[in-house]
Amino acid sequence: MAKHLFLAVTCRTLGCTTGCMVKYVGPYSGESKFQHLAPEWFMSFCGECKQTHRYKREEIYPVLRDEAPPVGFESAF
């Protein structure tokens, strides 16, 4: 089964450590460079604490999952 690559950020709200998936890249094919896929700055909403924060491209990290994104998933950019 193929892994799926997502880009994520950690929520900035004090006390919230939720990893927020901000973009679905696609099935993972071994790429290791991904920050160029994001704008320099972007906004992201945390579904856990219900806050929206502004993030820099450098704050993104990769997440590999067994599942593709759920129906209705919307990328932050």
CA–CA distances in Å: residue 14 to residues 10, 18, 57, 71, 74: 11, 11, 20, 30, 24
Where residue 1 falls among pLDDT bands split at 50, 70, 90?
confident
Category of 67 on φ-ψ map: left (φ > 0), alpha (ψ -120 to 50) or beta = beta
- As a whole number, the mean pLDDT across the chain is 95
DSSP type of residue 67: S
Report pLDDT for 52: 98
C-alpha span between 3 and 53 (Å, rounded): 28
- Residue of 24 and 2 predicted with greater confidence: 24
As a whole number of angstroms, the distance between CA 14 and CA 49 comes to: 10
Question: pLDDT (tens digit, 9 = 90+) per residue, 4-13?
Answer: 999 999 999 9
Q: Average pLDDT for residues 50-58, to the nearest whole number?
A: 97
> Residue 24 — very low, low, confident or very high, per pLDDT cuts 50/70/90?
very high
Listed by start position, the domains of the chain span: 4-65
